[in-house]
Amino acid sequence: MATQHEHSHHEHSGSDLITAARDALVAAGEQWTGMRESVFEELARHERPASAYDIADNLSAARGKRVAPNSVYRILDLFVANNLAMRVESANAYLANTHPGCEHDCIFLVCDECGEATHVDDDAVSGGVRGVAKASRFRTRRPIIEVRGLCETCAG
């Protein structure tokens, strides 16, 4: 995993992203239920990281009945486990994964001002972090690489 994107890497958006997410979940042996689709669509609509509460609120309003944050949370966990969503740890929130068919240790540039989280992939960087951990005989589950600062707009 030293070189970046020597495989065929696809970033998806719009309805194409929904289809890619569904295919990835079904390929993992999980069901693509109506509720899961609603949660994914809602997540994909957010440009900034969204919490389970944000998504539950929006879904409750759209469906005209209360959707419990706990059930949204469980679905988000399932999405993260199956590479359909990514958790931005320092924001305590989630983003739809634009490359659900392709695993990377995604890197986030998180703006302290507006909360925007720019997603980038660099397997050389994340591979380096994994290598450092391995050299310390640490068994890595996943590196969390987040950079805090100001986005281009907020930096003025």
- Binding footprint of Zn ion on the chain (CB under 5 A): 9, 102, 104, 106, 111, 113-114, 116, 121, 151, 154
Minimum distance, C-beta of residue 74 to Zn ion, in the bound complex (Å): 23
Distance of CA 14 to the CA centre of its chain: 15
Q: Is 122 annotated as a binding residue?
A: no
Minimum distance, C-beta of residue 9 to Zn ion, in the bound complex (Å): 3
| Cβ within 8 Å of residue 86, ≥6 positions away | 80, 94, 95, 96, 97, 106, 108, 119
Cβ closer to Zn ion: 39 or 108? 108
Minimum distance, C-beta of residue 18 to Zn ion, in the bound complex (Å): 18
Q: Is 105 annotated as a binding residue?
A: yes
Q: Is 114 annotated as a binding residue?
A: yes
For tokens 């994914």, name the residue: 40
Q: Is 154 annotated as a binding residue?
A: yes
Beta carbons within 10 angstroms of residue 20's beta carbon: 21
Dist CA 78 CA 55 (whole Å): 15
Residue numbering of the annotated binding site for Zn(2+): 111, 114, 151, 154
